[in-house]
Every structure is written in C-alpha cells, then in structure tokens.
A and B are shown apart, each in its own frame.
Chain A
Amino acid sequence: CWYHLPEEKLVSNRHMAMEIKASLLLLIFLSYAIVSFSLYEDQVGLMDWHQRYIGKVKHAVFHTQKAGRKRVIVSTEENVVASPDLRHGEIFWRYVLGTKDAIDGVDIALGKYVITLSSQGSMLRAWNLPDGQMVWKTSLHSAQSSKSLLSVPINLKVDKDYPILAFGGGYLHAVSAIDGEVLWKKDFTAEGFEVQRILQPHESSIIYVLGFLHSSKAVVYQIDPRTGKVVAQKSMVVPGGFSGVILSVSSDKVVVLDSTRSILVTINFLDGDISFHKTPVSDLVEDSGNAEILSPRLSNMLAVKVNKRTIFVRVGGEGKLEVVDSLSDETAMSDSLPVTDDQVAFASVHHEGSKIHLMVKLVDDLDTVLLRESIEMDQHRGRVDKVFINNYIKTDRSNGFRALIVMEDHSLLLLQQGAIVWSREEGLASVTDVTTAELPVEKDGVSVAKVEHTLVDWLKGHMLKLKGSLLLASPEDVAAIQEMRMKSSGRSKLTRDHNGFRKLFIALTRAGKLFALYTGDGRIVWSMLLNSPSKSEACERPSGISLYQWQVPHHHAMDENPYVLVVGRCGSDSSAPGVLSFVDFYTGKEISSSDIGHSVVRVMPLPFTDSTEQRLHLIADTEGHVHLYPKTSEALRIFQRDFQNVYWYTVEGDDGIIRGHGMKSSCAGETADEYCFTTKELWTVVFPSESEKIISTLIRKPNEVVHTQAKVNTDQDLLYKYVSRNLLFVATVSPKGAGEIGSVTPEESALVVYLIDTITGRILHRLSHQGCQGPVHANWVVYHYFNLRAHKYEVTVVEIYDQSRAENKNVWKLVLGKHNLTAPISSYSRPEMFTKSQSYFFAQLVKTIAVTSTAKGITSKQLLIGTIGDQILALDKRFVNLSQAEKEEGIIPLTDSLPIIPQSYITHSLKVEGLRCIVTAPAKLESTTYVFAYGVDLFYKRLAPSKTYDSLTDDFSYALLLITIVALVAAIYITWVVLEKKELSEKWR
C-alpha cells in the first residue's frame, strides 16, 4: 500500500513444528474444474458494497441561479472535481484527475461550463455543468513553477468572446471560454513577476494585474483584455518586502502584510496610480504578535488573525484601517456574497460546547445579523475548517441562506434552516490504515428469532426465490426477492455470527479519525476523532499513522471488549513526538491516551501477550532506542525471556542500505526508563548506489497461514515450501530506470529482485531482469514491473522450496518415522533451498496486488490485482502455478500472458476510484475471505475463492429441497399402493 512502508518483521526462534498432512482436500481442489468467480447481475450488492467519496473540499462554487437542479461544484485535495446535489448530497458527476494534477482553482464560466485550473496552472479544462462531460482542454505554457491563479471575469466580453484569465508558470494567459482557444499570453518569466490578483473594476475595459517582484516590489499592470498589451505599469518598492497572500478588499484596493508580519500595507490603485498606506498592526490591537491575513474575501473589510483572535478591519477611503469587531480564534468565515443590490453579507461559524453557531452578517454593518442559527454538532467532527455560503430567495421574498461547511475531520455538511440537510464523511477518501475487528458475542436476551419470520413467511420467501431461480417470477416478484435479500436477517444484526461473516473494519483516516464500518452494509457504526492527550498547543490534533490490535480477549470474550491501538504523531515530521491512543472496538470510546515523549519510527507487535491478553509492542524511535508497551512489570518479564530473540531491520532507501538490528541492553544508563532498550546492528546489506536503487521492499504477511508445507508436483514429486516468515523482498532498479516509463531505454535499465533473510542478512535469492523498470508492485512473492524490451507489463512469480526436507519423499521413511519433518526449524539455521520463477505478460498496469487469506490456508488462493482502471481482478493462483509450466498435465493451458476474464473482476461494473490498497482478512468459515479496497472510494466484498464448498449458498432453495422430499415420499406411497393392488390382482388370477 502506498501510504506506509511495510512494517518490519519480528522473530523468535520459537521452534515451529510443522505437522504434515497429506492433504486430500488440496487434491480435490486441484481436480476442480476452473471456476472463474462470477456474478449474476441481480446478485450485486448482496455480498459487496461500494461507497463513493470525493475527499476534503478545497473550493466550492454554487450554481443555483437557474431553476432546475441546484448544485455545487467542488474541487478537493484528492484531485477530484465533482458536482454534488444540494438537496441530498449525492454526486451527479465526478472526475478524479491524475495524482500530479492538483486542482488550483475552480469556477463557473458562461453559466454552463465548470473551469478548472490544475497542474500548477498549466492545464485548463472546461466541463459541461449538467453532465460533467469534458468540453475542452487547453495546455498552457509554463516555464517555471510558481503559484497559479484562475480568474473568470464576470462581465468581460471581447469580440463575442469571454476570456478566462489564468496565471501559472510565469505566464498570464487569456483563454476563450467557448472553445479553449488561447487568445493571448503575456510572458512574465523574465522579470520573475508573480501575479497575486487580477481585478477588473466595474465599467472598465482595462484589467489590473497585481503582483510582486521578488516579494519586495509591488507592481500593477494595466492590460488591455483584447490584445494582452500592457497599457500602463506602475511599481513601487516597499521596504521590508511582503509576506503571504494579497487580499483584495475592493475593486481598487488590496491589503498585504509586510515581511515582519506586523505592518498591514494597503495598496490603492485608482486610475492607474498606486499609493501605499502602512498601518502597524499594533495600532489596531494592543499587545500584538505575528499577524496573519485570513483568506475570506470581504468587501472593504479584512479579517486578520492576531493573538488567537480574529479581528475585522474596515478599510476606509484612503486606506485607513479601523477595527470594527473581534471574534475568537476558532471562527471560520466565508467569502462575502452580494445579497441585495448594495448589500454584501458573509457567514461566520464558531463552536460553543456541542453546538455550532452560524451567523450571516452584513459586511457594512456588523450589527445587522441576517441569520443566526445554532445547530447541534457531533463532537467527533472537530472544528469548522471552511465555510461557503449561498443565498436563495424564500417564498416571502426574503433572503435565505445555505452554508456548506467543511469540518476538521474532512466531512462535508450542508446547513439550511437550522438543520444539517446532509453530511458526507469525506474523511474516508483518505484512509491510511485498516484493521478488522470481531463484533460482540451475542448475549442472552437478544432474540435471534425476531428477524426470522413465521414458518409461512419463510416458506413464502423461499417459494418466491424458487420462482426467481426458475425465471418464472414477475417483475414485482423480482423486486420483492431483491428486497428480501437486502434485508435478510444476517445483514442488519450487529453481533458475531457463526460463520464470521459479520465484522467491523476499523479505518484510520488522514484527518486522524477512526471509523468502524460494518461489513454487512457498509454503514458507519461509530466514529472517533483522535484528541491530543495533553491538549497542548504544539499538538492540538495528532495525525494518525497506523492501527494495531492491542487487546483481543478470547478467554473473557463475553465480558471484555477488544481494544485497538492507534499510533499517532504530532506533526508531519518523523521525529515529532508520538501519541498512543487505546480505543474500544465495540463502542468507539477512547479508553486512554498518552503522550509517549519519543518519536515513532516503527511499531512492532510482538508475538507475546500478557495475562490480560494485551499484546506486547515495541516502538522504535529516531535515536535507535526501542520502547516496550504496555509499561507493566509483567510485560517486561515476558519480554526479558525472549529478549535475545528479537530482531528487526531498517531500510535506508536513499543510501541503498538495509540493516538488521538486535537487542543489546536496557538503556538504564542513559535514562531511568526501564522499558527502554538499546539496540545493536547485526548485519548490513549495501547495494551499489551507482547501479541499484531500492524502489520497493516487502515482508511476508505475519498472519499468513500455510496449511501444508508439502506440495505435489505434477510429475508426482514432493516439494517442501520454505515457510520461514523472516524474508524480505527487495526490488532495485538502475538509478536511470527509477523515472517514468518513457524516460529510459531498455539497455539502461535493469531490475533486480532480492530475497533476504531478516535474521541473518543472508541473501537467499537474486533475480535480475534486464531491460525492465519499475514501478514494482509486489505481494508475497508475485511482483509486477514494466518490461521495456517487449514494452509490456510483466508479472513474475517466485516460489521458494526447502531443500533440506526434500529427502523425505520415501513413503516408508514417513511410515517408519525416519524423517526429519518433526525436527524443529530454527531461524538461525541456513537451510538449503532452491527457487523457481516464472514470468508472464499482463496487459494492464497494476496499482496494487493482494492475496486472499483464509482461516486455515486450505482454500486455494486468488491474487487480487488492482488495475490501472481502478478495478480489482481476481486471478486464480493456478494461473501462475509454476508446476504447470513444467509438465503438460497442467490444468490450465500454458500461455505467456495472464488472462483477463471480465467476469472475474470482483468489482464488476464498479470502479474504486483512486485505488490505493487492497486488504484481505479471513472469515471463520474456511472457504470465505473478505476483501476491502480503499482509495477515494471504498469497496468491500465477501469472496469465496473456491466457491463456498463448506456451506450452502444464500441462493440455495430450501423450498425446492422440501418439495423434492415431499414429492419423493408421495411417489413412494403411491407406487406402493399401486403395487399392492397389482400384486393382489395377480394373486386372484
């Protein structure tokens, strides 16, 4: 997955005695015909769900003038441009732009096109407002990286054309809104001029372009919008320079802060003249510190943040500033909005207890409050981050207001008439880590029969199903069946079930919020925003890094709740102090949280638990120390016992070094902390930096289950898999090949893959692919890369076999016990091994690879391939089975490329936009596994790679079975009666 590097592996030399079972089941599965996992259209939504998100909103533009659908256009931090409906919040249309195509500005032109400026001001696109079809696209010239700016003048018309002005990369472009033609461009690269604001005074045919030169000189260009010629130019050096944004308060005035952040400079440029007026912030408020101009655009007024207060400063006629109001720090404000012909209003939102207060005031007269609403708000949404307002005319001709607010947890809400009309949990568009949790055990008193109806209802339901399966059902029947399926008993109940189908997925988002998603229908059971334990200023809101299962009770499952450990960090820097939080899986309540006082580099769950079933965790910090959690003497005692057997590794990607570490001693000498330990370096693998660069590392899944070590080859040979989990997969490419696909020739690039033992640092296997390059996406051990010679993507499978057990082929040896299979395997030993590998072409780029995991590892595995089209393809492991390449007996014909069967897309006709990661978890039932995929969208599916061989499917028709039994009994009875009569008559004869 993209968000975090693979965690290191911890090892103990606990002897793993592997039992060998001649697995008849395996043979049965092998003899199965190829079952591609496929789906009927009416089964959609039975075992899967899909949720569409857009991400944290950056800009929003309302489009409500015309009758018809009221909508809003938003652009988000996930590079999404979308149009949600204002009534219900569902998405009309949505586009996810490329990862390097961040949106800088969005606006509406001509009342029918949505204009987006992206890629640092070098890409301008127009989308059709009603259906989102892209109308035109223009690539703008850019020479350097600079901030970008989009301006759609409202009433500027040049020869039947409506120009859009876009600045980016040192060039100012005027682009026709109708067809995207570039009308003119102005080169500012030579001067290094950065446009900050484009203004068009009313009734003026001249546009004013304001900006800074090297942030010390303010320049105003007057440009003729027809030709792009500079009509006049004025500049003035401001000693001290500028900092931050320029804020236009009216059509001829802008305000900016100087570089000391203590003087406000008002720039007046009436009729081409520029004048400056400086006002120290200390004149406005006493005891001022560093000031910050807030971004909302208010007319003739600006909001400045000083000393944790927000002050409103009115800009007078000659640039005179005066303070008119001051508010608390936690107030979010919207841009101003014309309400009537001469009145302008703006909205402000602030928190008070569990409520938020929304106020719409007139800019000219702050005492006139047009709207005052208090709305109950969930505490776990945090503070209000952004506000966008829009007005509408009520039936009584007064003004009504609706406000779109973005909260700290990235959620998007629409407020109207004192209520939350709709809300969208957009935090889920940036999931960083996912873990699974069991639901609580069903306790006495909770009736199961409630959901099951009477026998008659049950039979009726099954009769309907039977009709459906015989395709005799009428459309009404079909609808009834579908409804019945959707609310079938199992899906709505939040308790543990026998098959383990019902579970919770706990997702941690970038905003530091935890969500518990119910696998049945994808609803959010609880959500929780992480809080800083100390409420300190430095760390108001920690960001979440990863999740671990802290305590999973088995002995007292009835009366103890499991806990999840959330590891967070104050700030984005890796040396920032960490925060631990313990959250109840069932209720979402934070049990405790603590500042741990050291940084978090790695978190290593140990294979030990204490008497309360709390799992021991080690946390490594930047100083080379590791810290043991939980900090109890019992945990310390358990850890001391296996102190010498704990190893881990670190990867220094930039230097091309992989280091193995072991424990040294308690760091009692340096600190009094007895849970802190020092480490020692055990081994290093250094890759030659001139020829190899690490691009991917991966470890085996710690919870992977191998049912049988033995594998029967097609030539009746017995092979033993190498089952050690202390393996690290490392892929390196030549430094030249680390770039993009088009940037290198086949001769220059080579891909090398290593398998390294993380205990001893021994390189077990090295495989080199000439003429190939990254990006490499791997899963144990199937990896995907690009072959430059064939110009195709390739997938390679590597299997590792243990040579030391290879002699145990003789049946007599096994029978007489003269085998070494029960001999313990030690991680320190150096077993002989051999590897086999095979490469296939694959027609699509792969974003991520996952493998299904089941409870016992008996069920055959499927590779889950996240493709470039954001779909997930399930590929049976047998397609990449190595033995079939060696013998003709292969079940699947040997090909040089992996097949893409459309029916085996588990996402069927859906897309998981922006797919980043696929997580699989086993169900209790051996045949079943869960798949949870996240990106901008979320997708969940319950999958049975070899079909549900151990349980009846949902579609199983009990009615048919009953009818058959009844019919058979009746037939037996009738035939018996007939026979009786016949025999009797025969005897009379």
Chain B
Amino acid sequence: MAPIIRSSPALAFLVLQISLIFFASTLPYSSGSEDSYTITGRVKIPPSNVIGHLSKFSNVKVILNGGQSVTFLRPDGYFSFHKVPAGTHLIEVSAMGYFFSPVRVDVSARHHGKVHATLTETRRSLTELVLEPLREEHYYEIREPFSILSIVKSPMGLMVGFMVVVVFLMPKLMENIDPEEMKQAQEEMRRQGVPSLSSLLPGAGASR
C-alpha cells in the first residue's frame, strides 16, 4: 500500500483534478439559485373619477419578455417576477384604459441583481421600478352635445348663414343706396330683360 501512495503523486493529482472537475460540474447547480433574481416593482395608476376603475388593478397584466412570464398585481399594486436571470429584459404592462411604455430592465449580475430600469418610449430612466401610465386611453369618440354653434359651423350651416345674410341684409344695404341710382339700375336691368323669379315658375306664368 505504502509504496503505491508514495510513488503516485501523479495519481493523487489526478484524483484531485477529477474531484475538482466533479466539484466544478456541481457548481452551476448550486449557484443556480444565486444566478436568478427577483424583479419587484409597482404599478401606479392615478386615481380617476371614471366609474368602474375601483377594481382597476384586477385587470392589469404585467408581462415579462413578450409573454415569457405573466403576472398580476397585488391589491397594493406591487408585482414581482421570480427566477429571472441576469441580463436585459423587457417588461410591458397591459391595462385597459391606460398606455404604459415598455420598460427595459437590466438585471446586473455583479451587483447581486440590482435592477436598472429605463422607459423605452421616452428613454427616461427610473430610479425605482414604479410604472406609471404615459397617458390615459379613451376608446370612444365623445359625442359633442347639441349646440347651435356646431350647426352654424358645419358647411350646411355656413351656407344657410350666407343665404340669410343675402336675404335679410342685402335689402337693408339696398335701402342705403340713393333711390335715384337704384331706379337707374333697375331700369337698366329691365332693359336687359333679366327674367324675374315669378316668370320662371310655371304656375306664375300661367296665372299672368
């Protein structure tokens, strides 16, 4: 036995190396729990007076990396993703009635899972992972209440308005014109034989 031990430092080295290899091969397994981190964040929705927003958190989904993992919010708005490896990830929030920017999240392996978040839409970086909607979304057009102004503004209204101006204001303007000049103009018109409206109407022609 003894000579074998003495004469085999190479063997001992080999044994050491094999055990090292074995140990090394178990390493990623044991550190597997350390390699994955937890991302915790919060969704904040501003209080809104729209009815039906009392249960606003119950319809919010938070999506990691385009559907790799989907989570829902706790009553206080917090959410978390577990077993996320270090690297760059994307978090999207899907909430009816609100538009959220997707968030780029860098999970650092060096700083034990420190999370750095940036809004991809505005390129604004967040100090903590609190997600707020960029804007509210209204899915319906709002019917304008009935008002005289809207009718007046419409093309039909403008046309009617013009007609009214011609019918009621023009005679007033005519009154201001010198009666002699007026007569002259009328005579001139008669000479040219401008047909009057009454002659155009068939009934009028017959009655004459």
Contacts and interface: CB of A to CB of B under 8 A. Distances in A.
Interface of A: 38-42, 44, 93, 95, 97-101, 125, 131-137, 139, 141, 143, 470-472, 740-743, 745, 775, 786, 788, 790-793, 843-845, 867-870, 900, 902-903, 905, 908-909, 911, 976, 979-980, 983
Of A134, A792, A793, A980, the most chain B CB neighbours within 10 A belong to A134
A791 B69 contact: no
A976 B139 contact: no
B61 interface: yes
A33 to B, nearest CB: 14
Contacts of A470: 146
B143 A740 contact: no
Contacts of B121: 843
B85 interface: yes
B203 interface: yes
Given A38-B141, A843-B102, A909-B97, A133 B87 contact: no
A489 B134 CA distance: 43
Interface stretch (B4-12, B88-96, B175-183): B88-96
Mostly, the B contact residues are mixed
A844 B92 contact: yes
Select the residue from A98, A101, A790 with max chain B CB neighbours within 10 A. Answer: A98
Contacts of A42: 143
Interface stretch (B17-25, B41-49, B73-81, B187-195): B73-81
B94 A870 contact: yes
Given A101-B70, A132-B58, A742 B143 contact: no
A133 B104 CA distance: 27
28 contacts: A38-B141, A39-B139, A39-B140, A40-B142, A98-B67, A98-B69, A131-B55, A131-B58, A136-B74, A470-B146, A740-B65, A740-B68, A741-B90, A786-B66, A791-B120, A792-B120, A844-B102, A845-B66, A845-B67, A845-B92, A868-B92, A902-B99, A903-B138, A903-B140, A909-B96, A909-B140, A979-B204, A980-B204
A843 B88 contact: no
A471 B143 contact: yes
B170 to A, nearest CB: 15
Interface in B26-63: 32-33, 38, 55, 57-58, 61, 63
B83 interface: yes
A472 to B, nearest CB: 6
A221 B156 CA distance: 87
A909 B139 contact: yes
Given A843-B102, A908-B139, A976-B204, A742 B85 contact: yes
Contact of A976 (B68, B84, B203): B203
Contact of B143 (A40, A131, A743): A40
Given A97-B70, A101-B70, A979-B197, A741 B97 contact: no
Given A100-B68, A125-B72, 6 more contacts: A98-B68, A843-B120, A868-B67, A902-B137, A976-B203, A980-B198
Contacts of A902: 99, 137-139
Q: Give the top 8 A-B pairs by smallest Cβ distance, nearest first.
A: A98-B70, A869-B94, A139-B82, A902-B137, A741-B65, A742-B89, A908-B139, A471-B146
B71 interface: yes
A924 B142 CA distance: 31
A99 B197 CA distance: 77
Interface of A is mostly: loop
B78 to A, nearest CB: 10
Interface centre among B38, B71, B73, B118 (most CB of A within 10 A): B71
B122 to A, nearest CB: 11
B196 interface: yes
A845 B63 contact: yes
A24 B31 CA distance: 69
A741 B82 contact: no
A792 B123 CA distance: 11
A38 B138 CA distance: 11
Nearest to B66: A845
A100 B69 contact: yes
B99 A742 contact: no
B37 to A, nearest CB: 11
Interface residues of B, number: 56
Given A99-B67, A909-B97, A134 B87 contact: no
A791 B104 contact: yes
Contacts of A791: 88, 90, 104, 118, 120
Interface string B125-142: 000000000000111111
A911 B74 contact: no
Contacts of B99: 843, 900, 902
B201 interface: yes
Nearest to B197: A979
B13 to A, nearest CB: 30
A39 B140 CA distance: 5
Contacts of B85: 742-743
B166 to A, nearest CB: 13
Given A868-B92, A908-B139, A135 B74 contact: yes
A788 B198 CA distance: 79
B3 interface: no
B141 A903 contact: yes
Contacts of A99: 67
B198 A983 contact: yes
B102 A792 contact: yes
A472 B146 CA distance: 8
B67 to A, nearest CB: 6
B143 A868 contact: no
A908 B140 contact: yes
A179 B203 CA distance: 92
B138 A983 contact: no
Interface centre among B57, B139, B143 (most CB of A within 10 A): B139
A728 to B, nearest CB: 25
Given A93-B58, A791-B104, A868 B66 contact: yes
A106 to B, nearest CB: 16
Contact of B87 (A742, A867, A869): A742
A39 B141 contact: yes
Contacts of A867: 94
A82 to B, nearest CB: 13
Contacts of B203: 976
B94 A868 contact: yes
B155 interface: no
Contacts of A135: 74-75
Contact of B65 (A93, A742, A983): A742
A38 B84 CA distance: 40
Nearest to B103: A791
User: Which of A42, A95, A843 lies at the interface centre, i.e. has the most chain B CB atoms within 10 A of its CB?
Assistant: A843
Given A135-B74, A980-B198, A905 B139 contact: yes
A384 to B, nearest CB: 33
A435 to B, nearest CB: 28
A134 B197 contact: no
Contacts of A132: 58
A743 B87 CA distance: 7
A761 B102 CA distance: 40
A776 to B, nearest CB: 12
Nearest to A140: B82
Nearest to A976: B201
A97 B62 CA distance: 11
B101 A843 contact: yes
Contacts of B142: 40
Contacts of B58: 93, 131-134
Contacts of A903: 138-141
Contacts of B74: 134-137
A794 to B, nearest CB: 12
Contacts of A869: 61, 94-96
A318 to B, nearest CB: 45
Contacts of A905: 137, 139
B73 A134 contact: yes
A207 to B, nearest CB: 26
Contact of A983 (B67, B84, B94, B196): B196
A984 to B, nearest CB: 10
